[in-house]
Structure 1
Amino acid sequence: MNLPKNIKCAIFDMDGVIIDSEEIHKKAYYETFESIKVKVSDELYKTLTGSSTLNAFQKLVEYFNLELNPEDLVLAKRKRYVNYFENDPNLHLVDGVEEIIKYFYQKGLILILASSSAMVNINRVFDRFNLHQYFTAKISGADLKESKPNPEIFLKAAKLASTPKENCFVIEDSDNGVKAANDAGIYVFGYQNPLAADQTLKNANKRIKSFKELKEFI
């Protein structure tokens, strides 16, 4: 698939694309795993990246045949995440992302957030880093029937932008997110975040290591 010539909409993932939160998500997950006494291998954890927290715990409850409520596990993990979020002064935006957000905004692109995170976490990030002003809409995968790698979230993003999907592109850092964009039929840039080195992004239409590279295309 070639990048559309008439680009009108940029669809951003959040964790690992806008904010370097992958590490605190991982800490919160593994503390929760430890609390319920399950050992999640690196390979299994890799398959959860990009999915909603509920989807991840539904998968793990089935995988380990646990008699636990996935929704209770979501709340337990979220509590740990919030603690890290509020108490880690080093938490920061991904290098170069604020500049590229402003660049797209100034060029008149419609910006949509399409994240698997819960809306409460999305708003927490957008409040802390003052990002609301740039985005037309924000979508939480936790509010949808299916999580990434299902394409629903990106199809909804294009709809909220009132833009044909052929005039959109996605920025993702996970294989599940890339597959969701692929299946939605939307061009996808795979951002190779050093903190998500376990994600191959092999099916992205174009892989980038820096957001500055996007200026060559947009």
Structure 2
Amino acid sequence: MSLKAVLFDMDGVIVDTEPLHRKAYFKTFDQLEVSVSEKLYTSFTGASTKRVCETLIGEFNLSHSYEDIAAIKRSYFKDYFYNDEEFDLIPGVRQLIEHYHENGITLILASSATMTTINMVFEKFGLEKYFSGKISGADLKESKPHPEIFMKAAEMAGEKLENCMVIEDSTNGILAAKRAEIFCAAYKSQHSVNQTYDLADVVVSDYDELVLDKISAYF
């Protein structure tokens, strides 16, 4: 048994787009002239844009269609994505990706984000050359915590499950990795809220902890 492939989640692991989504949503609320409380906004966590828009329409009796609201939000998000000074890769992740790549580890991206967002991130930060494949959960029948995305990622890497490692940051992602019976490293950042890491095989707050020398004991 040895580590041959690493399957990366994206949001919260490679980049953190949550602050951008938040800014884009609040700009949208301003444009729609609705006042969304923190409590209501928090209830949107993990929900699709469609569900958020439909909730707003119902809650504030809006005459807009969900497509209209989604389009407004999307344009604000895009603007922040390309122009927000604070938006960057999560500290240490580029070095970790390069380290695995240089050591012949196959890298696959397995994210619930849409392929459009995945490609935007890969293009902006020049990550394409390191990864052998990308899977968007938006294109799959099942979503995390269902293991489908990681089973497919391991298959794409052409490696046995016991030779793979998943890097995740969410309860559902960790659960999906465990259900796929793949070793899971949980990344816990200062932004991580209300996530449970009990099921992860190893929990780190610094990517330096996941270099090959330090995790070789597990494989």
- Band of TM-score, shorter chain: 0.7 to 0.9
Q: Aligned pair 1:210/2:206, yes or no?
A: yes
Name whichever of 74-83 and 138-147 sits farther off. 74-83
Corresponding residue of 1:44: 43
Corresponding residue of 2:76: 80
Secondary structure (helix, strand or coil) at the match of 1:176 reads helix
1:168–1:91: structure 2 CA closer, same or farther, 3 Å change rule? same
Structure with bigger gyration radius: 2
Secondary structure (helix, strand or coil) at the match of 1:195 reads coil
Residue by residue over 1:123-175, the C-alpha shift from the partner in whole angstroms, topping out at 9 and shown as x without a partner, is 11111111100000011111112222222111110111111222111101111
One-letter code aligned to 1:116? S
1:180–1:61: structure 2 CA closer, same or farther, 3 Å change rule? farther
Rounded Cα–Cα distance in structure 2 between residues aligned with 1:72 and 1:164: 45
Corresponding residue of 2:133: 137
Corresponding residue of 1:96: 92
8 Å contact 2:28–2:73 — kept in the other structure?
A: yes
8 Å contact 1:191–1:209 — kept in the other structure?
A: yes
Corresponding residue of 1:118: 114
Q: Given the alignment, which residue of 17, 20, 23 partners 1:21? A: 17
Rounded Cα–Cα distance in structure 1 between residues aligned with 2:10 and 2:123: 13
8 Å contact 1:22–1:195 — kept in the other structure?
A: no
One-letter code aligned to 1:171? I
One-letter code aligned to 2:98? K
Rounded Cα–Cα distance in structure 2 between residues aligned with 1:71 and 1:168: 39
Corresponding residue of 1:168: 164
Corresponding residue of 1:189: 185
Aligned-pair CA distance for 1:205: 1.7
Q: Given the alignment, which residue of 104, 114, 128 partners 1:108? A: 104
Taking structure 1 as the reference length, what is the TM-score of the superposition? 0.81
Rounded Cα–Cα distance in structure 1 between residues aligned with 2:177 and 2:68: 30
1:75–1:174: structure 2 CA closer, same or farther, 3 Å change rule? farther
Q: Which runs of 5+ in 1 are unaligned?
A: none
Name whichever of 149-158 and 97-106 sits farther off. 149-158
8 Å contact 1:10–1:110 — kept in the other structure?
A: yes
Name whichever of 97-106 and 189-198 sits farther off. 189-198
Q: Given the alignment, which residue of 173, 196, 199 partners 1:200? A: 196
8 Å contact 1:96–1:212 — kept in the other structure?
A: yes
Secondary structure (helix, strand or coil) at the match of 2:145 reads coil
Rounded Cα–Cα distance in structure 2 between residues aligned with 1:91 and 1:210: 19
1:131–1:72: structure 2 CA closer, same or farther, 3 Å change rule? same
8 Å contact 1:22–1:196 — kept in the other structure?
A: no
Corresponding residue of 2:173: 177
8 Å contact 2:44–2:52 — kept in the other structure?
A: no
